[in-house]
A and B are shown apart, each in its own frame.
Chain A
């Protein structure tokens, strides 16, 4: 095949054009600025009595099996495809029990949504991180990406779904609180605006001197979460995941995801240049052979 200048341009433009068209879609979703109107929940673990009314309300509203009333709370339990929230017991100061409630944290920049190639897992503008089974292809990358190990899979089903707490998005849309917070009799879990709850959490920490761990869990974790926790014992003792970066996870892939536009625009001319060069070299060699 002889490469004319026009042929060269044709190949270079077609491939670069295809590249640019795709480049438009390949950009990383940055963290949205925190909207002060976003909903949140403050969990004050010092106020929780371990009654598990939240578990019962959650199971009912999500049509999950009723929680096992005889469960031993001091043995670590995890959420599952049938259980969207669990309460775990730990030992607090002076031997008093302390309880940690686990459910989806509804991250401000959720890793699961960043991971999802089909946007089956998505963050609603109103705050909840929700799942749409009709789009899901079942790659389970959301489970790999979640630092809190929240998405759970229905391995046993023929058409499995990812299952997790949806922050009662439908109830919220109807002006109601999530089922768990509305069921709490002690005020351990308070539903409200995240920004106001963060202020309240800090107010309690500062007002009560040395009682609380001087940190709000969820303020900075993975770029911030809708659920915020304060505690008088270390958070990991309450079966809460720790040690994750404070940057939103979408930042972790942003660099790698910015490469494709460059690959798609720089490779074609570079490769065609190499081709033209090697072609020319062969032609010269042939000419020399011919004359020699």
Chain B
């Protein structure tokens, strides 16, 4: 690295080599990219990006399995519904650190916010692919369809993605070395965190409210006047569980970044497990109240009931106990397993509500086309690649020595 300083002129070239190529030359850098995971990502993207272009050139009919009876497929059910809820770690952990003052979780705050930011970006890309007239998305800013829960979702997602971008600029400016801007944004963090909680409360709930307008189409085990509360509570649960999974993976994959800095990941995980146990049990309990309120007991004995029980008992109640066990006996492994189960349960819930148990009386079923699946996969891959690219460069998991109190 010292060599680079000596050779390059002060300014852009050395900056590029240091910050973007990680201090390597072009040849060395490109060789470092030849890993099996990168190869897999490349295969997905090489097919997926032209597919995205094909979607816009040929239209929805040529690329999706959507029908008149199933206007929403996996681009809404997975990319939007699931993508947004799994990005809830941004506001959950942000509020835990900035507002509740639990500074122990500082070490995972930035990665939670970065995941949320990239998650929202990918959800928005998925939405743009799904919209029939994506160029008209700006109409939402000028025509107030304020009786629509989707209007609330649109505004909150726009505002919250902006908040996440601003929160992300703190490590970005540290990376760029822009001290003045960094100081300004750092001061705004508390206010940004408050805004992130407000917008998240509203749109996480409103994504559930969308289905209030489909009482004859959504299966009675999932339709409830309280569905927006279910969506909000499960978003908090997803936030906690994603923080557990992410911090585990990040600290394993990016272990190199953490040299000289001791982070007790297992301690954090067990702490999050305590919160997970309480929230998962509360979520199970209100889901149960939904069944009582909807007089839907009889449906539990059908195939739909089995699916519902897998989702709520198998993937919410059981992991809530596992969370409690792990937290009580200080077993991080149990907490991690529970977190994975909960995430599975929440993904299943969002897919059940928006795709699987939707139009349950219909004679036809929706099965996504391979192109829909591949494009969803492409967006997830883009998110993961961007996450890695950023974490390897910016002070997300590690501290920047020039900004000692960055974390």
Say yes or no: B131 contacts A138, CB within 8 Å. Answer: yes
Known A135-B136, A137-B134; judge A27-B146 contact (CB<8 A). Answer: yes
Expressed in whole angstroms, the Cα–Cα distance for A272 and B201 within the complex equals 16
A260 interface hit (Cβ, 8 Å): yes
Which residues of chain A are within 8 angstroms of B140 by Cβ–Cβ distance? 117-118, 137
Knowing that A15-B194, A135-B136 are A-B contacts, what are 5 other residue pairs whose CB atoms are under 8 Å apart, sorted by A's residue number?
A: A80-B68, A119-B144, A137-B136, A144-B217, A257-B209
Which residues of chain A are within 8 angstroms of B139 by Cβ–Cβ distance? 118, 120, 135-137
Say yes or no: A136 contacts B133, CB within 8 Å. Answer: yes
Say yes or no: A116 contacts B72, CB within 8 Å. Answer: no
Within 8 A of B (CB), among A263-292: 263-264, 267-268, 271-272, 274-275, 278-279, 281-282
Say yes or no: A115 contacts B225, CB within 8 Å. Answer: no
The 10 closest A-B pairs by CB, nearest first: A138-B132, A278-B101, A155-B61, A140-B71, A29-B147, A145-B213, A117-B151, A256-B209, A143-B71, A137-B136
Which one of A47-55, A89-97, A156-164, A183-191 is at the B interface? A156-164
Say yes or no: A159 contacts B133, CB within 8 Å. Answer: yes
A107 interface hit (Cβ, 8 Å): no
Say yes or no: B155 contacts A1, CB within 8 Å. Answer: no
Chain A interface residues (CB < 8 Å from chain B): 1, 3, 11, 14-15, 18-19, 22, 25-29, 78, 80-81, 111, 113-120, 133-141, 143-145, 147, 149, 152-160, 241, 243-245, 249-250, 252-253, 255-257, 259-260, 263-264, 267-268, 271-272, 274-275, 278-279, 281-282
Residue of A nearest to B362 (CB): A149
Chain B residues touching A, majority SS: helix
Which residues of chain A are within 8 angstroms of B215 by Cβ–Cβ distance? 147, 244-245, 252
Q: Which of A134, A144, A264, A282 contacts B101 (CB 8 A)?
A: A282
From B149, B186, B189, B194, residue with most partner A Cβ within 10 Å = B194
From A136, A139, A143, residue with most partner B Cβ within 10 Å = A139
- Kindly provide the distance from the CB of A82 to the nearest chain B CB, expressed in whole angstroms: 12
Say yes or no: B61 contacts A156, CB within 8 Å. Answer: yes
Say yes or no: A149 contacts B61, CB within 8 Å. Answer: no
Expressed in whole angstroms, the Cα–Cα distance for A120 and B133 within the complex equals 12
- In the complex, 13 of the A-B residue pairs with CB atoms within 8 angstroms, ordered by the A residue number, are A28-B147, A118-B139, A118-B140, A133-B133, A139-B132, A144-B213, A152-B68, A160-B132, A256-B205, A256-B208, A257-B209, A259-B205, A275-B99
- Kindly provide the distance from the CB of B302 to the nearest chain A CB, expressed in whole angstroms: 18
Expressed in whole angstroms, the Cα–Cα distance for A160 and B136 within the complex equals 12
- Kindly provide the distance from the CB of B205 to the nearest chain A CB, expressed in whole angstroms: 7
Known A11-B191, A256-B212; judge A267-B155 contact (CB<8 A). Answer: no
B95 interface hit (Cβ, 8 Å): yes
